[in-house]
Each structure stands twice: as structure tokens, then as C-alpha cells.
């Protein structure tokens, strides 16, 4: 994505799901395999809206995290055992 867009509209550059969510217990983030998230890198003010549908953790172009609705995802990062 054009860096000028990311500088002026930061949230448009946060579209990749990293495999974490708080669907089971609001505010308790777990990886898809149900392990608790122990490292976090939230953007300022995140996670936000504890009563909303923002259950999905996305990573932004700058490396910080944002919680959002699953419908706003366009990319996925996954882990695979080799």
C-alpha cells in the first residue's frame, strides 16, 4: 500500500490477521490453537471497544496491532510445523 495513505489514514494499513482473537472471553486474547497470547504490540488506544465485535487481531504496516471485525481482513499470517 502507498506509504502516503498509511501516514494519513493509518488504519487502512492494518489488514492482516495474525491468528489471535478474543472470541471466547472478551479481552483475553488467544491464538487460533487456544494458547494465550503472551507478547503484545498494541497500537496506542488498542484493543478498543470491549463490547463490540472487534475480536480479530490485525498487524499494521508499522508492526503494531489493532483489534477489528473479522470482515475487515484481507490477508492472513499462519504458522505451519515443518
- Domains in the chain with CATH codes: 3-72 (3.10.100.10)
Residues 6 or more apart from 75 whose CB is under 8 A from it? Answer: 15, 16, 17
Residue 78: pLDDT band (50, 70, 90) is confident
Considering all CA atoms of the chain, what is the largest pairwise distance in Å, rounded to the nearest integer? 40
Selected residue with higher pLDDT from 71 and 35: 35
**pLDDT of 10-68, one tens digit each?**
667 888 899 999 999 989 999 999 999 999 999 888 998 666 788 999 998 889 999 98
* pLDDT, position 8: 62
* pLDDT, position 37: 96
Q: Which residue has the cell 477489528?
A: 68
Amino acid at each position: 500500500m502507498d506509504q502516503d495513505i498509511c501516514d494519513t489514514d493509518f488504519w487502512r494499513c492494518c489488514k492482516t490477521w495474525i491468528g489471535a482473537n478474543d472470541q471466547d472471553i472478551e479481552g483475553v486474547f488467544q491464538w487460533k490453537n487456544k494458547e494465550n497470547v503472551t507478547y503484545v504490540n498494541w497500537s496506542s488506544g488498542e484493543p478498543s471497544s470491549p463490547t463490540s465485535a472487534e475480536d480479530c487481531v490485525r498487524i499494521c504496516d508499522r508492526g503494531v496491532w489493532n483489534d477489528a471485525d473479522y470482515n475487515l481482513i484481507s490477508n492472513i499470517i499462519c504458522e505451519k510445523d515443518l
